[in-house]
Structure 1
Amino acid sequence: MNELILFLLFLLFYSIPFSANSQSSTSETNILLKLKQELGNPGPLQAWNNSSSPCDWPGISCSVDGYVSTLILKQTNIKKIPGTICDLKNLQSLDLSYNMIPGNFPTVLYNCSNLVYLDLSQNAFIGTIPSDINRLKTLQFIDLGANNFTGDIPVGIGNLTELRSLRLNSNLFNGTFPEDIVNLSNLVELKMDYNDFFPSKIPQSFGKLSKLKFIYMTTTNLVGEIPESFANLSSLVELDLSLNSMEGKIPDGLLLMKNLSHLYLYKNRFSGSIPSVIESLNLREIDVSMNNLTGTIPEGIGKLQNLELLNLFENQLQGEVPTSIGRIPTLKIFRVYTNKLNGILPPEIGLHSKLEAFEVPDNQFSGGLPENLCAGGTLTGVVAFSNNLSGGIPKSLQNCDSLLTVQLYNNNFSGEVPSGLWSVKNLQRLMLSDNSFTGQLPEKVAGNLTRIELSNNKFSGGIPRGVSSWTRLVVFQASNNVFSGSIPVELTNLPQLITLNLDGNSFSSEIPTKIFSWKSVTTLNLSRNKLSGPIPKDIGYLPNLLNLDLSENQLSGEIPPEFNQLRLTSLNLSSNQLNGKIPQEFDSMAYENSFLNNPNLCGTSSISNLKHCSAEVRESKKLSPKILAVVIILAATVFLFSFFMTWLLVREYRRKMIRRNLESWKLTSFRRVNFTEVNILKSMSDSNMIGSGGSGKVYKIPVGRDGDFVAVKKLWSKGNLDCNSEQEFLAEVQILGSIRHANIVKLLCCISSDNSKLLVYEYMENHSLEKCLHGAKKINEADLVNLANDMVLDWPKRFQIALGAAQGLCYLHHDYTPPIIHRDVKSSNILLDSEFKAKIADFGLAKILFKENQSNTMSAIAGSVGYIAPEYAYTTKINEKTDVYSFGVVLLELVTGREANGGDDSSLAEWAWKHYGEGKPIENALDNSIKEPAHLEGMTIVFRLGLKCTSALPSNRPSMKDVLQIMRHCKPLDGDDAKTGSIAIDIAPLLGDDRYLSSYKRGSKKIRDKTDENLLISS
C-alpha cells in the first residue's frame, strides 16, 4: 500500500499548478496553441491564450522548472489525438478519458518519450492493442478501460516493466492474456474485468507478482483453479474473480493473507468447504456465493471484527450458523439463502451492529426469528421464506422505520401480525402466505405498501372499508383464508392494482359493479366463494385483464356481451348458475373447460360440454315474441342485403373498365376490416399524403361512413422490387400480422400487386411522439392547425407514453416467440392515438431471433443517427440491448425535451452523460417547460434510467423487463401525493442508487451489491 500511496503523491505533485512566475518556454506556448487549433478549439480550451503562462491554463500543470508536465483533456469532446502533444518533451501525465475518441490505438503517443501516466479510458477505440506498445517504456500507469479493443492482450505489454497499474477492463477482448504479465514485477493493480477472453486459466506464475494489492478479473471467462501460488501474494488487499467458471477448492492460504480486506469469488463452480483457518482479520467483505461449496460455515468467520458483508448464498452449505457471527460489531449484510443450513438462527444478530440486510430463505432453519434484527435502526429487509421457522413475528419490527420488505411465506409462523407492522413508515412488501397467521386486516396500512400476500393462512373477518386508502397497492393475494362478508366497493378504488386473488374464502353478496379504476388489473380471481348475482359488465371494459376466474360461486344471469372486448389468456366461469349464449370471442375449443357445470349456457361451436344454441331453439314448441321479432328482422335484413348486392352488381358492371385496372391487386387481411382494396386505391392521392421516408410514403385514407381513417404505407411504386425492399416488406408483414398487443400498432391488411405493396394500419390521431415532442421544429403550419389543443405534452402524458412504449418493447423481447429486436426504436416510430396511448410502429428493420446460438450480425448498420448503440456501430452485432439503448435515448428526449441528434458534435446520450459526469444537478437538464415541483422526483428517476439504458457497455444496460418494472413503480401520482412530489414507491433498490452512475464516471462498470440478484427487491 505504501508504494501505491507514494505513486499517487508523485502524480499529485506533478498536478499542482505553479504560478505564472514559473515561466515555460515560448515554444511550449506555441505548441499548446497549435494543439488547441488542431483539436478544433473546444470549449474547455477557450482560456488558452498568449496573455498568460500555460502553467495557469486549465488542464495544465507544470514541473518545478516551469515546463508542462501534465495535460488533462478529460471530457473535452475531442475526436482525435494530434501528434503535436508529443512535442511537449517534458510531458509525464496525459489524461484523454471520456471523449469517445474513435479509431485504433493512438501510436502517435510513442513519441511522448517521458510519459509516466496515460489515461485513455471511456473512449471508442477499436482494433487490437499494438504488439510494440512496450515503446511506451517509461509508463507506470496505463488505463485503457471502457473502450472497444478486441483480440489478444499483446505479449509486449509484459515489457512495460515500470508499470504499477494496468487497467484493461470493460473492453471487447476475445483472445488471450499473456503469461508475460508476470514480468511486471512492480505491478500493484491488475484490472482486466468485464472482457470475454478465450477460456483461460490464471498462470501459476502470477504468484510471483509480490507487490500486487488489487486483482480484478470478474467476468473474464476464467476456468480452472485458483493457483496455489496466490498464497505468496502477501500484499494482496482485494481479489475479485467473480462471475467466471472457476472450480476446485478455495485455497487454504487465501484466508491466511493478513492484508486481505475484500474477497469476491461469487458465481463460479468452486467446491469443497470454506477454509476453516482464517487469519485475514482485516476482511471487510466476503462473497463466495453461487458456487458448489459444501461443509459448514467456519467458526473463524465470527472472529472477523471488521466484517461488513457476508454473502454465502446459493451453495450447499450444511449445519448451523455459528452464533459468534451475531456478535460481529460491523456486520451489515448477511445473506445465506438457498443452502441446506439448519438449527437456530444466531439470536444476537442485529443487536451489536447496524444490520441492513438479513436474507436466510430456502434453508431448513427452525425456531423463531431473532428478536433484535432492527436494533441498529438500519434494517431494510427480513427475508426468511421457505424454512421451518415458527412462533410469532418479533414485535420490535413494528418500530423499524427503515424496513422495506418482510418476506416470511412458507414457514410455520402463527399468531397475529403485530398491529404496528402493517403501517411501518417505509414498508413496501408484506409477504406472509403459507403460514398459520390469524387475525383481521387493519383499516390503514403503510403508505408505500405495494404488495400484500396473505394466502393460505387463517385470517378472518372482512375486507375493511378503509382499503380505499391503500392507494399504492399493486398485488393483493388473500386466497384460502376465512374471510367473509361482502367485497366492499371501496376495494375498486385502487388505481394501481394489477393482481387481486381472493379465491377460497367465504365472501358473499354481489361483485361490485363499478370497477373502472382497475385499468391496470391483469389477474382477477374470486373463485370458490359464495358470490351471487350477475357478472358485472364493467369487467369487460378492463383493458389489461388477462386472467379471470369466477368459478365455483353462485353467479347467475348471462355472461355480459362486453366480454367480447377482452383478450384473455385464461378464463374460468365453471360451476355457477349462468345461462344464455356465451360471448362469440370465447366460443371456441380454446375455452372448452371455461364453462363447465353451467347447464343453461349454450354455444354455437363444437365445445362438447355446451348445448348448441340452435338446437335449443328447435326444441321450443312455440316462438316467443322476441324470437319472432328476430326472425322478421333477419328476413328484412336478407331482403335488404339481396337488394344491396343487386345494386352492387349493377354498379360493378358500370365500372368494369376501371376494375380491370385493379385486378392485379390482392388484399390479404390480418384482422376484420370494413373496406376493400378499391376504397384504399381510389384515395391514394397527394392531397392525402401525411408523410414520407426512406421506405416510402404514408397516406391518411378515409374508410367507412363514421369518419374513420386508416394509415396506408406505400413501400414502393416503380420498377421491380429489389431484394432489400422485399425483405423489409416480408419482415413487417411477418411480425405485425401475428402480433396482438395494445402497444404495438395494428396491421389491418396488406394490398399487393406485381410491382407495388401497401400496408394498411390503424390511424393514429396524434401522429408520432417526435411530432408532438418537437412539433414546433418538425411540423409545418398546416399540420399545426390540425393538432389538438392539448397536444402540449406535460409530464404525466410523457410518462404514459414512455410506459406504453416500454410495454410494447418488453412484449417483443420477452413475451413473443421467437423474440424480436426492433432495431429502429426512435420517437418517430412511437405513434400516439387520440388518448396519447403509445404504439410502436415501423418494423421494416426488425430482426427475429430464431435461435439463441444463431448469429445476429448484420451486414450493414441500420437505424437512425442518435439512437444507434455504440457497439452496433463498430461490430454490427445486435441483441435486445441495442433496443434498450435506443429506448434510453427516447427516455432522455422525453425528460429533457431535446432531440436525439441536436446538430452539435454530440448526441443526446453523450450530452446527458457529460452533464452527469461534470457533477451538474440533474434538475438542470430537465425540460423547463414541464418542470414542476410535483414531478421533479419522477423526472429525475427517468433521467437516471435513461442514463442506465444508454450505458456504453451492453452488459450494463437493464433488460426491457427490468426497465418496465422500474417504470411501473414510479408512475406520477394525483392529488396530495403529487403535491409532495412523491412517486409510487421508492424504486432506488430497483434502479440502483447513484453509486452505479458514479462508478460509470470512475470508469468502473461493476455493481458491488448486485442489486438484480438481491432478494430484497425480488418480486
Structure 2
Amino acid sequence: MTTSFSSPETISFFLLLLLLCSHHVNSHLYEQEHSVLLRLNHFWHNQPPLHHWRSSNASHCTWPEVQCTNNSVTALLFPSYNLNGTFPPFICDLKNLTFIDLQYNFITGGFPTTLYNCSNLNYLDLSQNYFVGSIPDDIDRLSRLQFLNLGANNFSGDIPTAVSRLSELRYLHLFMNQFNGTYPSEIGNLSNLEELLLAYNSNLLPAELPPSFAQLKKLTFLWMAKSNVNGEIPEWIGNLTALERLDLSKNHLIGEIPSSLFTLKNLSIVYLYKNNLSGKIPQRIDSKKITEYDLSENNLTGRIPADIGELQELTALLLCLNQLSGEIPESIGRLPLLTDVRLFSNNLNGTLPPDFGRNSILESFQVSSNKLTGNLPEHLCSGGKLKGVIAYDNNLSGELPESLGSCDSLFIIDVHKNNFSGKIPVGLWTSLNLTLVMMNDNSFMDELPRRISKNLARLQIGNNKFSGKIPSELSSFWNLTEFEASNNRLTGRIPEELTALSKMNKLLLDGNQLTGELPWNIISWKSLHSLKLSRNHLSGKIPNEFCNLPSLNDLDLSENRLSGTIPIELGNLNLNFLNLSSNFLSGKIPPAFGNEIYARSFLNNPGLCLNLDGCSLRTQNLRKISSQHLALIVCLGVIISIFFVVSALYIIKIYTKTGIKADVEWKFTSFQRLNFSEGNLLSGLSENNVIGSGGSGKVYRIPVNNLGDMVAVKRIWNSRKSDHKLEKEFMAEVEILSLIRHNNIIKLLCCVSCESTRLLVYEYMEKQSLDKWLHNKNSLPRIAGSDAVHGVALNWPMRFQIAVGVAQGLCYMHHECSPPVIHRDLKSSNILLDSDFNAKIADFGLAKMLVKQGEPASVSAVAGSFGYMAPEYAQIPRINEKIDVFSFGVILLELVTGKEALTGNEDSSLAMWAWEFIKQGKAIVEALDEDVKETHYLDEMCSVFKLGLICTSSAPTSRPSMNQALQILVRSRTMAPQNHGDQKV
C-alpha cells in the first residue's frame, strides 16, 4: 500500500514534527538566555535591584529590566541601578539583544569590544559611568547602531573617524568626556544623524565648526557648549534646515551672528551666551517658529530687530548681558506666547512697550540695569502667573502698576534705584507668595502697611519718603529676616512688638525721626547680626539686654540722644563694627573696646573716658596745682619711669628668647574679644612652644593667662627672597578669616605685625591635625578622658563626623560667602580637631576670593600640595570651587582607607591608586582601613569611598558641587544598605 506525501495525514505529521522541533529550539533558547541572566546577576554581585531575579521565576521576560520579543531577550534596561564593576564580557551570549541601557551607574574599564558579538545591537547607552581610555578605531563593527550615548564618562584621545562609518546612526552623544584631539569632520557623512551632542569636552583642540557639518540635513539638535569651538559662526549654519535646538555657548566664537541662522524654519532654541560674539543682531529674521531666543552674555551691539516681534511662537526672549542700545520694539510686547523676558544689563533706553503682559501670560520680567524711562507696563500680571518683576537700576518713574496689587503669583519685586513715586498698590503687600521686596532708592511717599504677606522675608525700602509710625502689627510677620528702612521720614517709637521677630537678622532704621527709648525686651533677636539706628532722636540708656544678642556683630547707635553708661557686658559680643559716637554717654569705656578696631566708636561723647581716674580728673575744675598735687605728679613720674625701665628689660628678655628686636613697633589688630595682650604672645614665642612648621614659618602653642587658656600662633617671617609672596599669604588669610564665621572654620582671634614678622593668632585646637590621627598616631599626646588616645586610630563614626564637618565648612565657603572663597590648599594637615573631634578648616594663606560669582579667577602661579591638587589646576592656573572638591575627595579617601595622599612622589597619589583599584574590578571592602573596618559600617564606608572617587574625577564637570557632596555624604549614613561589604565600583 502506498502513502501519498500530499495526503492530509502526512501534512499533519510533518507540521507536528516542525512544531515539536520549534518548541525544542525555543525551550533550549529560553534556558540558555535564563542561564546568561543568572550569570549576569552573579556578576553584578546581587545588588538589591536584582533580588527578584530567581531561577524559579516563571519567566525572565516578566522581569522589569528585561524585554523580550517572541519570548527571546532583546533589551536590557538598568538605568540608575547602582551597578558596580566592569562590563559583563558574556552579555552578547544573548544572541538577539538589540537594546542596552546602562546609564547612571558605576561601571568601569575600557570600551567593551565584546559588544561586537552583539550583531543586532542598534541602541547602546553607557552614559554617566566611569569608562576610560579611547573609543576603539573599529567601533564601526557595530554597524547597525542607531543610538550611541557614551556621554559623561572619562573617554580620552581622539574621537575616531570610525564613528562616521556608522551609517545608520541617528543619535551620537559624546558630551562630557576627556577627548583631547579634534572632532572629525567626517561626522558630516552621517546623513541620518538627528542629534549631535559634543558639549563640555573642553580638552578638545581649538577648532572651527567643520564645513562638512553643513551636510547634516536631518540634524535637529547640535550641542557643542564649552567644546573649544572658535572662529565665527559660519553662514552654512542656515543649511541645517531641520535644526530645532542650537547651543554653542561658553566657547570662543567671535564676529557677528549670521543672518542665515534666523532663516531656519524649525529653530526653537538658540544658546550663544558666554562667547565673544560682537556686531548686531540681524535685522531680518525669517524663521517664525523660534520659541526660545537666547543670545545673552555676548558683546552684541546695536538695536533689537523689530522682526523679533514677528516670531509668533516665541516663548522666551533672552538678550541679557550684552551692549544692546536703542528702544525695545513695541511689537515684542504683543507676542501671544511670550512668558520669559530677560533684557537686563544692556544700554537700552526709551519706554517699555505698554502691551507687555496684555496678550501673553508673563512669568518672568527682567529689564534691570538699562537706561529705561517712563512707567512699568500696566498689564504685566494680567495672566496671573507673573513670578518676578526685576527692573532695578533704570530711570523708570511714576507709580507702580495697580495690577500688581492683585498679583498673587508674585514672588519678588525689585525696582530699587529708579525714580518711582507715589503710593504702593494696596494689595501688593499682602500678595500670597511675596517673598522679596526691594524698593530702596526711589521717591515713594507712603506709610508702612499694617498687613504684609506671611512669606515676606526681605523688605528693603531705604532712601525713600515713607512716613508715619512703624506699625505694631509687624510682629505677626514672623518670616521677616531683613527690614531696611533707612533714610525715610518714619516717626514715633520703635514698637516693642518688633522684637518678637525671631528670624530677623538685619534691622536698619537709621536716618529717620524715631523717638523714645531703645527696646529692651529683645530676647527673640537671637539671629540679629546687624542693627543700625543712627541719626534719629532716640533717648535713654543702652539696655543691658543688648549684651545678650549672640549673633550681633554690627551695631550703630550714633547721632542720637542716648545717655548713661555703656554696659560693660557689651564687650562680650563679637562686634566687627561699633559706633556710639555723638550721643551723651558717660562713664568708663569697657576695656574690651580699648583696641584699634574701635578707635572711632566713641567720638563726641564728652562724658566718656578710658579709665575712671581720667574721668575724675577731667570733670574737676583745676585752677591751680597745689604742692600736694605737685608731689603726687612727681611720684607718678617716678612710677612711670620705673615702668618703662622694667618694660625695656622685659622686651630685651623677649628678644633674647625669640630673636625679636627690642625697638620694633608692633601693630595689634583684634577681631574678637580678647583676655590677653601682644606681650603675652611675644613672651611665648620660644622653641619649647613650637608644635609645627611649614614653608612660611612656625606654629606655637602659647599660654596667654593664668586660667590655662591656649592660643595657636602662626609666625610668618619676611625674607628678601619671599617677602612679597608671604605678605600676600598673610593678607589673604587675614582678609578671609576676619570676615567669615562658621563652626567648621578656624577662628582668627587677632593679628600682630611689624616690619619683619607677622603673627596670626587662632583658637587652639586641642586634638591637633587630622593627618596626625590618620598617619602619624605615635606623635599625638595622650589626652585624658578621650576615647581616641595615644596610638589608637579614630573610629569610623569619628571619621564620618569629621568628613561632614569639612563638607559643611566648604559649603559655607563656596555657597554662602559673597564672593565665594576658594581654599586652594585643602589637605588633612589643614583640618584641625577640637576637643570633641569637630573638624575646622585652617591655613587660608593660599585662599583666594572669586572676583565674581561663578567666574573663575586667574592666579599668577600654581599653589597647593601634591596628592591633593586637582589635575587641571596643575596644568592651567585657573581656579574655581571644583579644585577644593577634588582635595575634599582625597581627604575622604584618606578617611576611608587610612592611606596617605601621596606615597612617594606626585605620580603615585591616593586618588590615582583608588581609580586604578576600581578599574581592576576589586571589591571596595578590600580597600578599607583595617583599623576601623566593622561589619555594620561597611556599606557606609563603601558609599564614602564612592563619593571620594566622584569628587576626584579628572573632569571638573564630573565632580559634584560641595552642596551636592554634602547631601550625598549625609544620605550615605541614612540610606546606605546594610551589610553588603562586597561592593565594587
Q: TM-score scaled to structure 2, two decimals?
A: 0.69
- Aligned counterparts of 1:560 and 1:526: Cα–Cα separation in 2: 18
**Pairs within 5 Å for 1:977-1016:** none
SS in 1 for 2:938: coil
- Aligned counterparts of 1:395 and 1:889: Cα–Cα separation in 2: 57
2:104 is the counterpart of 1:105:
no
Deviation larger for 535-544 or 466-475: 535-544
Share of identical aligned residues, percent?
45
Contact 1:413 1:435 in 2 (8 A): yes
2:217 is the counterpart of 1:210:
yes
Contact 1:429 1:451 in 2 (8 A): yes
Q: CA-to-partner distance for each residue in 1:316-353, whole Å, 9 max, x for gaps?
A: 22222222222222111011112222223222221222
- Aligned counterparts of 1:569 and 1:761: Cα–Cα separation in 2: 17
* Residue of structure 1 aligned with 2:352, choices 345, 348, 369: 345
Task: State the shift of 1:501 in Å.
Answer: 1.7
Q: CA-to-partner distance for each residue in 1:782-828, whole Å, 9 max, x for gaps?
A: 989xxxxxxxx9xxx99x999985786459976798845545699x9
Q: Which amino acid aligns with 2:50?
A: L
Aligned equivalent of 2:169: 163
- Aligned counterparts of 2:375 and 2:748: Cα–Cα separation in 1: 58
Aligned equivalent of 1:477: 484
SS in 2 for 1:205: helix
2:390 is the counterpart of 1:383:
yes
Aligned equivalent of 1:687: none
**Pairs within 5 Å for 1:354-373:** 354-373=361-380
- Aligned counterparts of 1:588 and 1:956: Cα–Cα separation in 2: 49
2:158 is the counterpart of 1:145:
no
Contact 1:486 1:509 in 2 (8 A): yes
Distance 1:31 1:870, change over 3 A: farther
Task: State the shift of 1:576 in Å.
Answer: 2.3
Aligned equivalent of 1:226: 233
* Residue of structure 1 aligned with 2:122, choices 113, 116, 120: 116
Q: Which amino acid aligns with 2:881?
A: E
Q: Which amino acid aligns with 2:48?
A: G
Distance 1:760 1:263, change over 3 A: closer
Distance 1:65 1:570, change over 3 A: closer
Contact 1:809 1:960 in 2 (8 A): no
Q: CA-to-partner distance for each residue in 1:203-255, whole Å, 9 max, x for gaps?
A: 22211222211101122232221111111111111111122231211111111
Aligned equivalent of 1:273: 280
Task: State the shift of 1:553 in Å.
Answer: 1.9
* Residue of structure 2 aligned with 1:408, choices 407, 411, 415: 415
Task: State the shift of 1:515 in Å.
Answer: 2.7
Aligned equivalent of 1:544: 551
Task: State the shift of 1:404 in Å.
Answer: 0.4
Aligned equivalent of 1:92: 98
Q: CA-to-partner distance for each residue in 1:382-405, whole Å, 9 max, x for gaps?
A: 111222222211222121111001
- Aligned counterparts of 2:939 and 2:296: Cα–Cα separation in 1: 47
Aligned equivalent of 2:50: 45
Task: State the shift of 1:167 in Å.
Answer: 0.7
Aligned equivalent of 1:580: 587
Distance 1:554 1:81, change over 3 A: same
* Residue of structure 1 aligned with 2:938, choices 875, 887, 903: 903
- Aligned counterparts of 1:871 and 1:902: Cα–Cα separation in 2: 34
- Aligned counterparts of 1:735 and 1:597: Cα–Cα separation in 2: 35
**Pairs within 5 Å for 1:390-469:** 390-469=397-476
* Residue of structure 1 aligned with 2:39, choices 24, 34, 41: 34
- Aligned counterparts of 1:251 and 1:872: Cα–Cα separation in 2: 36
Distance 1:470 1:31, change over 3 A: closer
Contact 2:824 2:864 in 1 (8 A): no
Aligned equivalent of 1:184: 190
**Pairs within 5 Å for 1:558-573:** 558-573=565-580
Q: CA-to-partner distance for each residue in 1:570-599, whole Å, 9 max, x for gaps?
A: 333332223334333433444443333333
Aligned equivalent of 2:881: 880
Q: CA-to-partner distance for each residue in 1:735-758, whole Å, 9 max, x for gaps?
A: 799956653355899xxxxxxxxx
Task: State the shift of 1:444 in Å.
Answer: 2.0
Q: Which amino acid aligns with 1:116?
A: N
Distance 1:168 1:439, change over 3 A: same
- Aligned counterparts of 2:935 and 2:959: Cα–Cα separation in 1: 18
- Aligned counterparts of 1:622 and 1:908: Cα–Cα separation in 2: 83
Contact 1:805 1:830 in 2 (8 A): no
* Residue of structure 1 aligned with 2:320, choices 313, 317, 341: 313
- Aligned counterparts of 2:863 and 2:112: Cα–Cα separation in 1: 28
SS in 2 for 1:904: helix
Structure 2: 5+ residue runs without aligned partners? 1-22, 641-656, 661-667, 690-701, 714-728, 751-760, 771-784, 788-796, 850-856, 893-933, 968-985
Q: CA-to-partner distance for each residue in 1:149-200, whole Å, 9 max, x for gaps?
A: 3444334433333321111112344543222322322211111112313433
- Aligned counterparts of 1:222 and 1:307: Cα–Cα separation in 2: 28
2:280 is the counterpart of 1:245:
no
Aligned equivalent of 2:840: 841
Number of aligned residue pairs: give it.
Answer: 814
- Aligned counterparts of 1:322 and 1:885: Cα–Cα separation in 2: 48
Rg larger in structure: 2
2:130 is the counterpart of 1:129:
no
Aligned equivalent of 1:658: none
Distance 1:321 1:736, change over 3 A: closer
Distance 1:494 1:198, change over 3 A: farther
Contact 1:145 1:169 in 2 (8 A): yes
* Residue of structure 1 aligned with 2:292, choices 281, 285, 295: 285
**Pairs within 5 Å for 1:512-527:** 512-527=519-534
Aligned equivalent of 2:924: none
SS in 2 for 1:492: helix
Distance 1:294 1:818, change over 3 A: closer
Q: CA-to-partner distance for each residue in 1:492-550, whole Å, 9 max, x for gaps?
A: 22222222221211112222233333332332222221222233343344333333322
- Aligned counterparts of 1:439 and 1:962: Cα–Cα separation in 2: 44
Distance 1:57 1:493, change over 3 A: closer
Task: State the shift of 1:440 in Å.
Answer: 0.9
Aligned equivalent of 1:13: none
Q: CA-to-partner distance for each residue in 1:841-878, whole Å, 9 max, x for gaps?
A: 26599975699436768776569xxxxx9999999999
Distance 1:529 1:802, change over 3 A: farther
Structure 1: 5+ residue runs without aligned partners? 1-17, 605-609, 639-662, 685-700, 714-730, 750-758, 769-781, 785-792, 864-868, 892-898, 914-946, 967-1019
Aligned equivalent of 2:717: none
- Aligned counterparts of 2:829 and 2:194: Cα–Cα separation in 1: 44
Contact 2:87 2:108 in 1 (8 A): no
Q: CA-to-partner distance for each residue in 1:597-655, whole Å, 9 max, x for gaps?
A: 33333348xxxxx99779759986999xxx9xxx9xx9xxx9xxxxxxxxxxxxxxxxx
* Residue of structure 2 aligned with 1:60, choices 53, 57, 66: 66
Aligned equivalent of 2:561: 554
Contact 2:81 2:104 in 1 (8 A): yes
Q: TM-score scaled to structure 1, two decimals?
A: 0.67
- Aligned counterparts of 1:814 and 1:282: Cα–Cα separation in 2: 41
- Aligned counterparts of 1:890 and 1:125: Cα–Cα separation in 2: 24
Distance 1:21 1:138, change over 3 A: closer
Aligned equivalent of 1:79: 85
Q: CA-to-partner distance for each residue in 1:768-795, whole Å, 9 max, x for gaps?
A: 9xxxxxxxxxxxxx989xxxxxxxx9xx
- Aligned counterparts of 2:280 and 2:884: Cα–Cα separation in 1: 43
Q: Which amino acid aligns with 2:939?
A: D
Contact 1:709 1:763 in 2 (8 A): no
Aligned equivalent of 1:726: none
**Pairs within 5 Å for 1:666-815:** 739=737, 742-743=741-742, 744-745=745-746, 805=809, 809=813
SS in 1 for 2:428: helix
Q: CA-to-partner distance for each residue in 1:390-445, whole Å, 9 max, x for gaps?
A: 22112221211110011112222211112221111110111111222112112221
Deviation larger for 37-46 or 61-70: 61-70
Distance 1:201 1:877, change over 3 A: closer
- Aligned counterparts of 1:676 and 1:410: Cα–Cα separation in 2: 49
Distance 1:110 1:859, change over 3 A: farther
Contact 1:413 1:436 in 2 (8 A): yes
